Structure 1
Amino acid sequence: MKKRTIYELTKEGLIILIHLYRYSFSILFGPCCRFNPSCSSYALLSVHRFGIMEGAWLIFKRLIKCHPFHPGGYDPVPDIIKKS
């Protein structure tokens, strides 16, 4: 049996939380995301592509845009994260 690191377990835990959100709250509220891809899809792809820390940062930046005054639209996960 392969030993998994804390990092891998935390990443899997975050992915499970995203799936729980997707299959609980999303069912209650329906498809109402103003962005494409949806925020839960964006979150999963961010974590898979960049890991926990960078993925969480991208998720945070996406969620603070989620308000009635932002037009939404196409907002894909970046291929690389620009370091400033």
Structure 2
Amino acid sequence: MSTATQAAIRAIRWYQRNISANTPARCRYYPTCSNYALQAIRRFGIVRGGTLALLRLLRCRPWSRGGIDDVPQRFSLFYRYSWSKAHEEPRLTPLASHTKEMA
């Protein structure tokens, strides 16, 4: 982990302990924006993870619907769009079943 990544993680942790802990919860998303930033930076590094965190902060506004918004498994700036496959998890069950009907 680079020095810049470690510094960003320490700064986010400081914010969580000293500022966020003393203010009422208002985040419309799960995980919270600071937890999202931690996960994104740990997964993708300071540049890519920081970009995802910044985009998340821009989405977090009073009139947004909010909801569950996990960090994508693969880096993509467009993972929130339906045509992107970056947010999909591997499937454990086949898409189609090849069973024969017994008559």
Report the counterpart of residue 65 of structure 1 in structure 2. Answer: 59
Task: Give me the identity figure in percent.
Answer: 35
Point out the structure with the larger helix share.
1
Count of residue correspondences = 78
Q: CA RMSD in A?
A: 1.6
SS of structure 1 residue aligned to 2:63: coil
1:47 aligns with 2:64: no
Higher relative contact order (CA 8 A, sep 6+): 1
**Distance (whole Å) between structure 2 residues aligned to residue 76 and residue 17 of structure 1:** 21
Larger Rg: 2
What's the TM-score, normalizing by structure 1? Answer: 0.85
- Structure 1: distance between partners of 2:73 and 2:41: 12
Structure 1 runs of 4+ aligned residues shifted over 4 Å read none
- Please, which runs of 5 or more residues in structure 1 have no aligned partner? 1-6
